[in-house]
Structures are given as structure tokens and as C-alpha cells.
């Protein structure tokens, strides 16, 4: 029995020493597991105590003394080693987390706003400066708000599945932000002066068209609104968006929700009307569609057309960005090529 006690004491010393030869930050956990291996309820020292029943009665007091001394020794040993383990763990942690303040700094590259966001923010700033309020509407619309309320007949080509992303017969991804204007006219009495902006969807894809793009539309409804008001607003917008020498012109066109309707051109911002490849040597660039709000649209929204009239205009944000930045292909906006994107924030150091 005495030999077993001596052997167990030696084993405890050896195993504790093995733990401290390891260089890691889990010393205390390993030490605890080792302690349970010897002093736990099913540990080796506990087994030794259970075996005391096999010792001759006259030797039990003496053997019990040796076992208790071993237990006291082991508990003190583990307590001391736990303190040392904590110190060693902290030293290892400090070494790992040490910062060399003399090392060169690591500079993180800054992100920047996407060119579409830059243009959208600039447009909003211009038109809110003119007194417009921004209205956000859902990208999912019903056939009524996207087509019927905007005087778009059932046989219009845009209702074809090849042109519009229908979710089911009556629900679709909006093809223009004009749908949001109907919501406002239904809920708000004139005067109305709002911008609707956001993503729109059309089944079209090439160098100048994308299945998803960003649109911004303006709507003004009030008494005595005329086409001259629209022309004056667009003149002021063009000069603020591009430069003070930019001119606009209106050409007759057709849109179901405006009557009369116009296409709006501006003098080429690259050649200033002299003619270049950007404007196809015409000196003008088509920029947006506009017109006086069709009386049928106003009447559908229960606005008295005897008192009120209005104008509306819509532009593609990608279109404005392509013109302003001289970008030839709309797909560049969505390819996420960092070499392309970082150009638009380099002036601010956001690379």
C-alpha cells in the first residue's frame, strides 16, 4: 500500500510537469483535467482510498495518514501550479497581442459612393432646392398603379411579358416610378410637388439599357401650371446639373400619361453644341421625357381638372451619369470593377 502511494505521488509530479512543458494558452484547462484525473470522484486517489478496506485493520491508521498527506500535497501542488499557469497564459497572450509601435502603419483603403448614388444624391439636392419632396414607393406594384391609372391601355406593348417582369397576372416589378405618383395623388390634395426615385425593371439589355436601372420622376400639380413652367424648371436643372451654358429644347413626343408630351434634349456637355461622337455630331443629347399630366390620369385620382393641371418628367439616373461622366456602356455600372468605381471618388481621396 505504501508503495502504491509513493508511485501515485511520483505519477502526479510527472504529469504536472508534462503540462507545463506545453506552450499554449490552455494550461489551466489542462491542469484542471489532470486534477480531476487524480482527485476527482472517480480519480486515482479516490480509488486508493476505496482500497483501504483491503488493508489490515492495525495498519489502516498509518496508511490513512499517508493517503491524507498525499491528498494535501496534491491539492497544494495543483493550487500552486494553477497560479503559475495563469501567469504563463497571460505572458503568452501579451506576447501574441504585443504591438510594435515602431512598425509602419497599415493604411486601410477607403470605400466610396457608387456613381449612381453620387448622381442620385446630386439630383435630389437640386430638386429639393426647387421645393420638391422625395417620396419612396414599393418596387412591387399592381397592374392598376403601374398601367391602368397611368392611362396605359391593355393592348400597350409594355404590358407584354417580354417587356415587363410580371410576378403573376396582377403583380409586377414596377416598370416606372410614375406608379408612386399615383399613390401620392390619391392620398394628397394639390398642391403637389414630389420626386419619386428608385429601381425599376424592364426586360431589356444592351450597351444603353439594363433589365434593372434607376429612375427619378418629378410631378407638380397645382393651379395654372403650364408647359412653360416645365421648360423653365428643366432649364434651371440642366444648368445646375451640368454647367451654366447648357441649353434645353423640347420636341413633340407621345406618352400615355402626359398630353402634350415632349422629349427633352440638352446641348452636348462635351462639345457644347459643336458636334462630337457623344452627341453623334448633332450637338444635342436626349436626356428625358416629360409633358403635361393627362387629364385622364388626374381624373382617375379624383383631382378636379377644371381647377388643377400639372406636369411630370422622368429621367434615367444611369443616363445622366453616362452623359456627365462620358461612360459609353451602362453595364459598367453593375460589373463592380474596382478600377472603374474608384475613379469617381479619387478627388476626395476615397480610393
pLDDT in tens, 157-211: 767 755 788 898 889 999 999 999 999 999 999 999 999 999 999 887 777 788 9
Asked which of 12-26, 203-217, 271-285 is least confident by mean pLDDT, the reply is 12-26
**pLDDT confidence band for 23 (50 / 70 / 90):** low
Query: Given this model, what pLDDT does residue 24 score?
Result: 66
Buried b (16+ CB within 10 A) or exposed e, 77-109: bbeebeeebeebbeeeeeeeeeeeeeeeeeeee
Give alpha helix (H) positions in 40-177: 44-50, 60-97, 115-129, 143-146
Question: Where does 109-234 show beta strands of DSSP type E?
Answer: 133-135, 140-142, 166-168, 171-173, 192-201, 212-222
Give percent of the chain with pLDDT exceeding 90: 48
| Distance between CA atoms of residues 34 and 22, nearest Å | 14
Per-residue pLDDT, averaged over 27-44, amounts to 80
Look at residue 347 and tell me whether its pLDDT is greater than 50: no
Give percent of the chain with pLDDT exceeding 70: 94
Query: Given this model, what pLDDT does residue 346 score?
Result: 59
Name the residue with higher pLDDT: 16 or 257.
Answer: 257
Q: What is the mean pLDDT of the chain?
A: 86
Look at residue 34 and tell me whether its pLDDT is greater than 50: yes
**pLDDT confidence band for 155 (50 / 70 / 90):** confident
Amino acid at each position: 500500500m505504501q508503495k502504491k502511494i509513493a508511485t501515485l505521488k511520483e505519477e502526479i509530479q510527472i504529469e504536472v510537469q508534462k503540462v507545463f512543458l506545453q506552450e499554449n494558452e490552455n494550461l489551466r484547462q489542462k491542469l484542471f483535467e489532470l486534477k480531476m484525473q487524480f482527485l476527482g470522484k472517480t480519480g486515482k486517489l479516490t480509488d486508493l482510498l476505496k482500497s483501504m478496506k483491503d488493508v489490515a485493520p492495525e495498519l489502516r491508521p498509518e496508511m490513512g495518514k499517508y493517503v491524507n498527506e498525499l491528498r494535501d500535497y496534491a491539492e497544494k501542488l495543483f493550487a500552486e501550479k494553477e497560479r503559475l499557469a495563469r501567469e504563463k497564459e497571460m505572458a503568452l497572450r501579451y506576447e501574441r497581442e504585443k504591438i510594435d509601435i515602431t512598425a509602419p502603419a497599415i493604411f486601410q483603403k477607403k470605400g466610396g459612393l457608387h456613381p449612381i448614388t453620387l448622381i442620385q444624391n446630386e439630383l435630389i439636392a437640386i430638386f429639393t432646392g426647387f421645393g420638391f419632396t422625395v417620396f419612396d414607393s414599393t418596387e412591387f406594384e399592381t397592374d392598376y398603379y403601374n398601367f391602368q391609372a397611368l392611362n396605359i391601355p391593355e393592348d400597350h406593348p409594355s404590358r407584354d411579358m417580354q417587356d415587363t417582369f410580371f410576378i403573376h397576372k396582377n403583380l409586377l416589378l414596377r416598370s416606372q416610378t410614375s406608379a408612386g405618383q399615383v399613390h401620392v395623388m390619391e392620398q394628397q390634395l394639390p398642391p403637389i410637388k414630389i420626386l419619386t426615385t428608385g429601381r425599376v425593371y424592364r426586360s431589356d439589355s444592351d450597351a444603353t439599357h439594363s433589365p434593372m436601372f434607376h429612375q427619378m420622376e418629378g410631378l407638380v400639380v397645382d393651379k395654372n401650371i403650364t408647359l412653360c413652367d416645365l421648360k423653365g424648371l428643366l432649364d434651371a436643372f440642366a444648368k445646375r446639373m451640368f454647367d451654366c451654358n447648357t441649353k434645353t429644347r423640347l420636341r413633340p413626343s407621345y406618352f400615355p400619361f402626359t398630353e402634350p408630351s415632349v422629349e427633352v434634349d440638352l446641348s452636348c456637355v462635351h462639345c457644347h453644341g459643336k458636334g462630337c461622337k457623344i452627341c453623334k455630331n448633332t450637338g444635342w443629347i436626349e436626356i428625358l421625357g416629360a409633358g403635361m399630366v393627362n387629364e385622364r390620369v388626374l381624373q382617375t385620382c379624383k383631382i378636379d381638372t377644371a381647377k388643377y393641371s400639372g406636369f411630370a418628367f422622368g429621367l434615367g439616373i444611369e443616363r445622366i451619369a453616362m452623359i456627365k461622366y462620358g461612360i459609353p456602356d451602362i453595364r459598367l455600372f453593375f460589373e463592380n470593377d474596382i478600377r472603374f468605381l474608384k475613379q469617381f471618388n479619387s478627388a476626395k481621396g476615397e480610393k
